[in-house]
Amino acid sequence: MKLFARLGLVAGIIASTFTLSAEAQEADSENRLVISLEKGDVTIQLRPDLAPRHVEQIRKLAADGFYDGIVFHRVIDGFMAQTGDPTGTGSGGSTLPDLPSEFSNETFDRGTVGMARTNDPNSANSQFFIMLADGDFLDGQYTVIGDVVSGMELVDQIKKGDAATNGVVNNPDKMLKVRLGE
């Protein structure tokens, strides 16, 4: 009987350790990005601990409705899906300034969200990509801003581009609405 009581106490301690307080859950939702696609929602947990300036810019753009209706202009099967360019060409961005890199030791695994950029490491602006597969060759060269926490099966269904054109997508899928929270 004492053994069961001790096990119950240990289970209670473990459960309370892993249960977020209401304040922590609310703060957590402030760094949650929800992307509505035609088939459902994809939720990304943003990582201000890794890239505070990049996450702040993404949050501002999402709050302003910048991402609503923007297409996935470059999608390479077995690699990644890229979006965030209002021109749909991969060469556009927002009117906000480009950001200095915030590289980290995080790995680019399936579901990792990173900032797209030009050859200049300090050129990220509004474009980001979601990894469809592991890509450790990107580690330390691109800024990690978050991870998909739900809806990865929907990301997998985003229309793929032609490998011969570096993943450019004809008649691409789009982000219907992008919002913070939930």
* Radius of gyration for the alpha carbons in the chain, expressed in angstroms and rounded: 18
Q: What is the pLDDT of residue 124?
A: 98
* pLDDT over 80 at 149, yes or no: yes
Question: Which residues on adjacent β-strands are paired with residue 170?
Answer: none
Q: Using pLDDT thresholds of 50, 70 and 90, give the confidence band for residue 163.
A: confident
Once rounded to an integer, what is the mean pLDDT over residues 34-44? 98
pLDDT score at 18: 41
What is the predicted pLDDT for the residue at 85? 98
Q: Which pLDDT score, from 0 to 100, does residue 29 have?
A: 81
Q: How many CA atoms lie within 13 A of 66 on its CB side?
A: 22
When pLDDT is cut at 50, 70 and 90, the band that residue 24 belongs to is: very low
Q: How many CB atoms lie within 10 A of CB 90?
A: 17
- pLDDT of 4 higher than 70: no
What is the reported pLDDT for 154? 98
pTM above 0.75, yes or no: yes
β-strand partners of 101: none
Token pair 């609503």: residue = 68
Q: Going along the chain, which residue ranges are E strands?
A: 32-37, 40-46, 74-76, 80-83, 112-115, 128-131, 144-150, 177-180
Q: Judge whether residue 64 has pLDDT over 50.
A: yes
3 state DSSP class of 37: strand
Q: How far apart are CA 64 and CA 47, in angstroms?
A: 20
Q: Give the pLDDT of residue 22.
A: 40
Cα(73)–Cα(85) distance, integer angstroms: 8
Number of H helices and E strands in the chain, helices first, is 4, 8
Instruction: Give me the pLDDT at residue 68, please.
Output: 98
Mean pLDDT (the chain, rounded): 89
- Whether 101 shows a pLDDT value over 60: the answer reads yes
Which residues have CB under 8 Å from 89's CB, separation 6+? Answer: 73
What structural domains does the chain harbor? 1-30 (no CATH), 33-180 (2.40.100.10)
